[in-house]
Amino acid sequence: MAEKDWLTFRFMTLDDVEAVGELERLAFPLPWPVDAFVNELTINQNAKYLLAIADEKVVAYCGVWVILDEAHITNIAVHPDYRGRKIGERLMRQMMGLARLFGAERMTLEVRPSNTTARNLYGKLGFIAAGVRKGYYSDNNEDAIIMWVELNEDEQE
């Protein structure tokens, strides 16, 4: 089997919110409640969520808000049992391409300075640090690094 055949991507639906909520709880000290994902899918017309599926289950997800020509990554998480397999990178590349299709020319996100794995991934994808949000994370008052990337059509997977 080819390396990429084991992983598929699709849009999140309401049927997926419990699985995404569980993944959120595994990944973050202050997880979004399941109701937040329901609202994202039913109320927020700017929100798009992609899932990575392996072994017939949700192993990663990524959310973005596309507003005019900008895309803002709201969250991304990979199940702890599936980390280190480039799923986050592939999912981000998929999301970058999707955001471009929806008219975004650039993308932004916030990341903890302590999250070197994520920062390295974003740097690999072309994101550049452009500022700091002081005390952004309420669980420990950690700052957030604001990162931006231009979405060029030739850079997506």
What is the token pair recorded at 88?
A: 């986050």
Q: What is the pLDDT of residue 135?
A: 84
Q: What is the pLDDT of residues 1-43, one digit of tens each?
A: 445 579 999 999 999 999 999 999 999 888 999 999 999 999 9
Given the residues 24, 40, 49, 122, the one annotated as active site? 122
Q: What is the pLDDT of residue 9?
A: 97
Q: What is the pLDDT of residue 154?
A: 57
Query: Is the distance from CB of 80 to CB of 28 less than 8 angstroms?
Result: no
Average pLDDT over residues 71-76: 97
- Inter-helix orientation angle 17-27/34-42, to 10°: 130
Q: What is the pLDDT of residues 128-140, one digit of tens each?
A: 999 999 988 878 8
Given the residues 22, 70, 89, 110, the one annotated as active site? 110
Annotated catalytic residue 82 = no
Q: What is the pLDDT of residues 88-127, one digit of tens each?
A: 999 999 999 999 999 999 999 999 999 999 999 999 999 9
- Inter-helix orientation angle 116-124/87-101, to 10°: 50
Phi then psi dihedrals of residue 116, to 5 deg:
-65, -30
Annotated catalytic residue 155 = no
According to CATH, the superfamily of the domain at 3-155 is: Gcn5-related N-acetyltransferase (GNAT) (3.40.630.30)
| b (16+ CB within 10 A) / e for 78-115 | bbeebeebebbebbbbbbbebbbeeebeebbbbbeeee
Model confidence band, residue 153 (pLDDT cutoffs 50, 70, 90)? low
In this predicted structure, the answer to whether residue 144 has a pLDDT above a threshold of 80 is yes
For the chain, the C-alpha Rg in angstroms (whole number) is 15
Q: What residue segments make up the domains of the chain, in order of their start?
A: 3-155
Model confidence band, residue 157 (pLDDT cutoffs 50, 70, 90)? very low
